[in-house]
Every structure is written in structure tokens, then in C-alpha cells.
Amino acid sequence: MLKALLWDVDGTLAETERDGHLVAFNCAFAESGLPWRWTEARYGELLTVAGGRERLLRALAAEPDAPPNAAERIALVERLHRLKNRIYAGMAAGGALRLRAGVMELLTDCRARGVWLAIVTTTSRANVEALLTAALGRSWTTWFASTTCAEDAPRKKPDPQAYTLALQSLGLRGPETLAIEDAPAGVRAAAAAGVPVVRVRSFYFPGGERSIEVAVGPSLIERAGWEPLAAPPIGRRIDLAQLRDWHRQHTTARRGPAVSDLT
Ligand code: XBP
């Protein structure tokens, strides 16, 4: 039985990578008088590195005008990352980051039906706080039974640490939950912790066939284009009933039918 929905943040709750982090990194460079500017395409390449700080460190290692001394480079990265997160928080507070279509409806479904919600991300807590305060109000924490962020799980996805910690704090087993993710690293992290996962394609992770996922599709607001097919009518959004259905099919296929399924 599905007891909790575990939400990734960046790319899943909102298009935060393209509309938030990328813009904020470029503003941080400009405010610091640095010449670097990342295009959408360049940032997409850098997203293979999980974690904003780690991403910046990797990028600066290839910049000819970055400090050649490793200690100075790390100090610069720390400063820029803090500034980026401050700018990101300001953008979120100003309404620049909206929840993706269908997210709010699904969060509301879960609250109404007693399915717990949890955040499982390896982004900084301040970013989650900023995004969700803007989207759900100051009491956003009351929506979630647990919130696992980079500060709790320093081993970034695809490491399963964030998912393992979230399961511990919820007191649930992986198959009692369902993760919503957009990126392959997130899918691998969830799967490695024994959590079934639905992948919703995003701006930076638009493709890829279904492999280990319970289901893969373009958006929570539409039923067209999902694999496996969503139940009709096609015009409806992906709601909790549909997720429960996919989850049941997936867990039944894994363990074989329960006696109650056969009678
Ligand atoms: C996404 C990330 C984060 C963000 C930037 O994690 O990799 O690093 O891109 O945030 P997830 P920080 O998919 O788990 O949400 O700068 O705070 O790292």
C-alpha cells in the first residue's frame, strides 16, 4: 500500500535549474565582477555534476582565468555558492519560481487522502525553504512528514543516502513509498534505496526510455505520453489514484500477487 510520496525538488517540483540556479549563478558571477556567464546549454552539461558547489568547482577547474591555486579556488567557490543561494532565495521570494503544472494538485490529493509527503533532495535546505515558502506559505513544513536536504545527506544523488535517511525518518520501507524524480541520478538514488520511482521529464532531462521506473511521462498535468499508459480519460491530470494504480502494478509484479489480489 502506498503510504508516502517522496518528492525530488530541482526540476521536479519546479524548473529550478533553468529558471533559478542558472540565473542565480550568472548573477553571482556578475555581482562579483567575474567574466563567466553560463548558457542554458553549458549549464546542462554541468548538471552531470550533482550539487551546486561541486558543479562550480568542476567548472572553475576548466576556466583559464580562475585562481590557479586550489585553496583560493575553493574559497571563491564557497563565496560564490553562498551568494548564488542568496540570489536564488530572493528570486523565489519574488515569485520567479512556480511549481510545475500538476504538482500542487497532487500535493493536495495526498493531504486529503492521508498519504504522507516528504522532500528528498540533495539541494541546500535554504533553497528548499525559499521555494516552498513562496509556493505553500510560511507553514510549508506542516505539509511534509520529513524533509531531507544536502545538509542531512552530503553524499549527493545518485548515492541513495538521501532516500535511506528519508525512509528512516518516516519509519517506512521503500515499497510503501513512491518517489517523483526528473533526472536519471535521482532515479538511480531512489531505486538503490528500494524506492519505486515515477520520472516526470523536465527541461534538462527531457528524454530517455523507461527502464527501472514505475512510469515515465512528460508532465503531471497530462495523461498523454505516459509509459505505461495512464488510464483514460486522457484529458485528466495524473492524480493520486493513477499513481496508486501504477504503484500497485509495480509492487505486485515484484512480489507476485497477494492472496487478497486473487480472491
Ligand atoms: C539538485 C542539485 C542541486 C541544485 C543546486 O539536487 O544537484 O545541487 O542543482 O543546489 P536534487 P545547491 O535533484 O536532489 O533536488 O546549490 O544547493 O547544491
**Active-site annotation holds for 10:** yes
Each residue's pLDDT tens digit, 45-94: 999 999 999 999 999 988 889 998 999 999 999 999 999 999 999 999 99
Q: Kindly report the pTM of this predicted structure.
A: 0.94
Which ligand 1 atom sits closest to the C-alpha of 182? Answer: 13
Mean pLDDT over the full length of the chain: 95
Mean of pLDDT values over 169-175: 98
CA distance 86 to 67: 23
**Number of Cβ within a 10 Å radius of residue 206:** 9
Per cent of the chain over pLDDT 70 is: 97
CA distance 169 to 174: 12
CA distance 188 to 195: 10
Burial class of residue 241 (count of CB atoms within 10 Å of its CB; 0-12, 13-18, 19+): exposed
Residue of 123, 132, 164, 195 best suited for mutating to test ligand 1, as the one with most atoms within 8 Å of CB: 123
Q: Quick check: 263 pLDDT over 50?
A: no
pLDDT at 252: 87
**Active-site annotation holds for 239:** no
Each residue's pLDDT tens digit, 94-142: 999 999 999 999 999 999 999 999 999 999 999 999 999 999 999 999 9
Which ligand 1 atom sits closest to the C-alpha of 185? Answer: 13
Query: What is the Cβ-side half-sphere exposure of residue 188, based on CA atoms within 13 angstroms?
Result: 8
Q: Quick check: 261 pLDDT over 70?
A: no
Q: What is the Å distance from ligand 1's center to 9 Cα?
A: 8
Residue ranges lining ligand 1, Cβ < 6 Å: 8-10, 17, 21, 50-53, 121-124, 127, 150, 157, 183, 186
